[in-house]
A and B are shown apart, each in its own frame.
Chain A
Amino acid sequence: MLPEGLGRLFACGGMSDGPFPEQYEPTETPLASNPLHPKVTYNPTARVLKDDRARMGEQKDFPYVATTYSITELFRHWTKHSRLNAIAQPEQFVEIGEKLAGRLNIAAGDKVKVSSKRGYIEAKAVVTKRLRTLNVMGHDLDQIGIPCHWGFEGATRKGFLANTLSPAVGDANTQTPEFKAFLVNVEKA
């Protein structure tokens, strides 16, 4: 949306990519290539440093897609220092779909280890019906959810930094980090 209240079909300059909106896969993708144009899988203008590029995992080692997000009880890493917020959501957890949890023999409340090419976290498992196994290009694909509020000291129980897992990729224009889609492995801790 632009100041005059309308959007535009073309990017009018000042953008690293464009002029048309484009579909790219995340830098760490479970797919072999971009279904729309196999030669360019992820955004070539995204900001990735050389050493960070070397720390990208592959699906054979890290078969699940992870997404980090916030939950209503906590705000960033601020409110975990407040007792009442800590009471409402005291301990780090990850959300795992019922099917995947069944396959990995993980029950609700079990401690699990989630690892990516860049490190690992340990957290309690919330097993949910809300995350369902997806079918992407003929293959089953499981996604797990990683709330991002723990780590360091606080009024909550100690936890791990979710961003240990995520890749250091900045959006081509905004430098917004690519924390919404990357590859991990999950196992019972």
Chain B
Amino acid sequence: MAMQSQDIIRRSATNGLTPAPQARDHQQEVAKLIDVSICTGCKGCQVACSEWNDLRDEVGHNVGVYDNPADLTAETWTVIRFDEVEDESGRLEWLLRKEGCMHCEEPGCLKACPSPGAIVQFANGIVDFQSDQCIGCGYCIAGCPFDVPRINKKDNKAYKCTLCADRVSVGQEPACVKTCPTGAISFGSKADMKDLAATRVAELKSRGHEGAGLYDPQGVGGTHVMYVLTHADKPEMYHRLPKDPHISRLCAAGKNG
């Protein structure tokens, strides 16, 4: 569903001769900030996401971990990742990370997509799939440096987190942000979220988390979903969050140049 109230700054497989709507002023870049040090792994965000987006995944299996559903699917757009990590001294940490679309400033999915207008980026930074234009080729999956999009076998179309573009366009925060009981997820302008992150990082450092920092990877131009990590120097500890994600050169050289 195209958001008619949003300017579109990028549109997959489309050249500059047919520009997307760009008439609106006062479009602010938004961001979601996830502070992993405050997350308790309650999965409230998962449930709120499914409620708002009318998603009901299969009742799956326990595969020997707390993570459930076991992975992102076309009908599960966010999952909490649970990782038990011991440092050199044997101190155990249970690291939690809410996984989902990062809404890259330079979206690999959009660059890889061959179907005109199936993936768009709004002026506020949100990267959204326009399912009616999707041809189900799966190139977005290959193009994503975070392995996020999934094809739905029911309709052969790709799905992922929309950053609740529908809620955001009417001035509300995403459903996961609204429901988070510990305040681990914040939402606002990207500038405000970076300020908030700086405050949190300073506090974490003052409490002995020397590796604390903001995850806003520049290899994809920064992201509109950012993390405050207690170990920002080793993001791989959080369920293989890539340290320096890049768009594959093969994808970048495709139809979208």
Question: Can you list 22 A-B contacts with CB-CB less than 8 angstroms, sorted by A residue number?
Answer: A72-B41, A72-B42, A72-B43, A73-B42, A73-B68, A83-B56, A83-B59, A87-B56, A87-B57, A87-B60, A87-B69, A87-B76, A88-B43, A88-B47, A90-B61, A108-B65, A109-B62, A109-B64, A125-B64, A126-B66, A155-B59, A156-B59
**Contact stretch, chosen from A6-14, A127-135, A136-144, A179-187:** A127-135
For the A-B complex with A108-B65, A109-B62 known, give 4 more contacts whose Cβ atoms are closer than 8 Å.
Answer: A87-B50, A87-B68, A88-B43, A92-B62
Interface size on A, residues (CB 8 A): 27
**Overall SS of chain A's interface:** loop
Whether B43 lies near A90 (C-beta < 8 A) is no
Chain B residue with Cβ nearest A106: B64
Residues of B within 8 A of A110 (CB): 64
**Which of A73, A83, A89, A109 touches B63 (beta carbons < 8 Å)?**
A109
B210 proximal to A (CB < 8 A): no
Q: Determine how close the nearest CB of chain A comes to the CB of B78; give it in whole angstroms.
A: 11
B25 proximal to A (CB < 8 A): no
Binary interface profile of B, 44-61, with partner A (CB < 8 Å = 1, else 0)?
Answer: 001100110000111111
A84 proximal to B (CB < 8 A): yes
Whether B66 lies near A91 (C-beta < 8 A) is no
**Which of B59, B64, B66, B84 touches A87 (beta carbons < 8 Å)?**
B59
**Which of B56, B64, B68 touches A127 (beta carbons < 8 Å)?**
B64
Which of A95-132 touch B at CB < 8 Å? 107-110, 124-130
Between B42, B51, B65, the greatest number of chain A beta carbons within 10 A of the residue's beta carbon is seen for B65
Q: Determine how close the nearest CB of chain A comes to the CB of B178; give it in whole angstroms.
A: 16
Residues of B within 8 A of A77 (CB): none
Number of A-B contacts (CB under 8 A): 71
Q: Determine how close the nearest CB of chain A comes to the CB of B56; give it in whole angstroms.
A: 6
A45 vs B66: C-alpha distance when bound (angstroms): 39
Whether A88 lies near B46 (C-beta < 8 A) is yes
Whether A90 lies near B60 (C-beta < 8 A) is yes
Chain A residue with Cβ nearest B40: A72
**Which of B61, B84, B92, B94 touches A91 (beta carbons < 8 Å)?**
B61
Q: Determine how close the nearest CB of chain B comes to the CB of A182; give it in whole angstroms.
A: 23
Chain B residue with Cβ nearest A93: B62
A128 vs B65: C-alpha distance when bound (angstroms): 8
Whether B56 lies near A124 (C-beta < 8 A) is no
A107 vs B63: C-alpha distance when bound (angstroms): 10
Q: Determine how close the nearest CB of chain B comes to the CB of A105; give it in whole angstroms.
A: 14
A61 vs B62: C-alpha distance when bound (angstroms): 29
A93 vs B60: C-alpha distance when bound (angstroms): 13
A31 proximal to B (CB < 8 A): no
Between B50, B59, B63, B68, the greatest number of chain A beta carbons within 10 A of the residue's beta carbon is seen for B59
Q: Determine how close the nearest CB of chain B comes to the CB of A95; give it in whole angstroms.
A: 9
Whether B46 lies near A129 (C-beta < 8 A) is no
A110 vs B63: C-alpha distance when bound (angstroms): 8
Binary interface profile of B, 62-80, with partner A (CB < 8 Å = 1, else 0)?
Answer: 1111101100000010000
Chain A residue with Cβ nearest B66: A126
B155 proximal to A (CB < 8 A): no
Whether A90 lies near B84 (C-beta < 8 A) is no
B132 proximal to A (CB < 8 A): no
**Which of A72, A84, A108 touches B56 (beta carbons < 8 Å)?**
A84
Residues of B within 8 A of A93 (CB): 62, 64
A188 proximal to B (CB < 8 A): no
A88 vs B47: C-alpha distance when bound (angstroms): 8
Residues of B within 8 A of A156 (CB): 59
**Which of A73, A84, A126 touches B50 (beta carbons < 8 Å)?**
A84
**Which of B41, B57, B61, B86 touches A157 (beta carbons < 8 Å)?**
B61
A85 proximal to B (CB < 8 A): yes
Which of A46-93 touch B at CB < 8 Å? 72-73, 83-93
Q: Determine how close the nearest CB of chain A comes to the CB of B48; give it in whole angstroms.
A: 9
Whether B62 lies near A85 (C-beta < 8 A) is no
Residues of B within 8 A of A125 (CB): 64
Whether A85 lies near B61 (C-beta < 8 A) is no
**Which of B43, B59, B65 touches A86 (beta carbons < 8 Å)?**
B59
